[in-house]
Chains A and B, each alone.
Chain A
């Protein structure tokens, strides 16, 4: 052993630190600094009756049934307290008008909430229809991929959600969504979007837009269950998804969507 005399101050310091270390740990346990900083998070998670691993939600849209009444867009804003300005929509309805000379025009006045005014032209229309749009809750969501902090995520039951208290508002997810489904909430300053009315579906209800659709153009259900209206929808219709070449694997299936639909 080398001579310890010149090292005494160091030894004393180490001695004190090591002996008092357990005490410091205990202090930290009693007063959790995370709680002081407002970051308390109970580890007790989940409603015992609802098991998310037993569900996988998806939606179907029957384009040929949509009448463009806009009740869905209106109900969504009411149910989810979305700002009423024509700048923020969790779901909206588009009108496509293809004329006989091949040009397609699309419009969505206030997302379709107040219905659609008369078309500019009565004659020369080749095809025209309404297309409801919403977040597609993709299986491979590009928005989740780009979130820098893990504030948006795919839940275990297949719904893409945003953690309000964690989002920093960088807006990268809004840029990354190919479908224009996201917006920045003007008051909360976080990214927001359709949640499939998660708070309704876990209680056995359907999303508000599905609830109020007069023609059942929107079908909600489980992708993995035989006894689900969605399964019947998928069996009987030639379904497409939006922008399939982007490989986002959307879970909103469109029946009867024209090739002009983007």
Chain B
């Protein structure tokens, strides 16, 4: 065994190194080694076949795996560029302002200022590229506005909603409203325009005659920026007490309670719903 190893090492360290001779020597020595260990003949075919399969897999990996695979992670790096180079279909609002800045200015003054042009007019990148060839759509009639403004209890409180069946049936929305700046009509500066749900309850309740402003202090900015400037909610029981306390100066058919003892420390509306106080 040691003599064999010596021979192999000796052949490796010859100064005039010849690859062919080396491989040849190695294969001769492998032969001798195998004969010494007496590897049975029947093991040769499996070993050869496995070696071929392993080499085939390694070669296939070198040839077939895409070049950029693994560059930034376990994926084909070119895929990111392929996805990044897809064409945009929506242009973005800045593209509209290049030609339609006047409409954009109008929109910024009204309650649709948060609405993108393309929300109503559809995808417009093609129009931005070639304005005459591809025109965006203009929603007409009553159907499109209803997607946002038809009454639906799941919409957040205070979002302006109407009941389509009763709100000017048959008329197109644009008859009364300018869609780029849908100012509410002056007489419609009622709280009920946006807070219809609450108004509908109050109007059939004991509190129907009470104006909203009786309890809520509404700054005039609330009409322009409803989410930023909110109407105030009352803070103390004394407000309700102005009518409902035992010695209050109010019509006698209003129910009275002893403010000091009724309802511990909590404010009245923890239990009573002021917009529909009849509810149990």
Contacts and interface: CB of A to CB of B under 8 A. Distances in A.
A200 B84 CA distance: 8
Interface stretch (A45-53, A168-176, A233-241): A45-53
Interface string B61-82: 0011111110111111111111
Contact of A47 (B68, B74, B81): B81
Interface of A: 2, 4, 7, 10-11, 14-15, 18, 33-34, 37, 39-43, 45-47, 50, 52, 64-71, 75, 78-81, 95-97, 114-116, 118-119, 122, 125, 128-130, 150-156, 161, 163-166, 195, 198-200, 202-203, 205-206, 208, 211-216
A30 B267 CA distance: 86
Nearest to A113: B147
A164 B88 CA distance: 18
Given A47-B81, A165-B82, 14 more contacts: A11-B24, A18-B23, A37-B64, A41-B67, A41-B76, A45-B71, A46-B80, A64-B156, A67-B155, A165-B79, A211-B116, A212-B90, A214-B116, A214-B148
In the A-B complex, list the 7 residue pairs whose CB atoms are closest, starting with the nearest: A153-B75, A163-B79, A41-B67, A199-B86, A41-B66, A128-B154, A212-B119
B2 to A, nearest CB: 17
Contacts of B92: 200, 205-206, 211
Contacts, number: 175
Main secondary structure of the interface of B (DSSP, over half): loop
Contacts of A96: 154
A205 B87 CA distance: 12
A7 B67 contact: no
Interface in B164-195: none
Nearest to B148: A69
Given A34-B66, A70-B147, A129-B154, A164 B82 contact: yes
25 contacts: A34-B67, A40-B67, A42-B67, A45-B71, A45-B78, A45-B80, A45-B81, A47-B81, A50-B84, A97-B154, A119-B153, A119-B154, A129-B154, A150-B76, A156-B73, A163-B75, A163-B79, A165-B76, A195-B83, A198-B83, A199-B87, A200-B88, A200-B92, A211-B118, A213-B119
Nearest to B161: A67
Contacts of A64: 156
A212 B63 contact: no
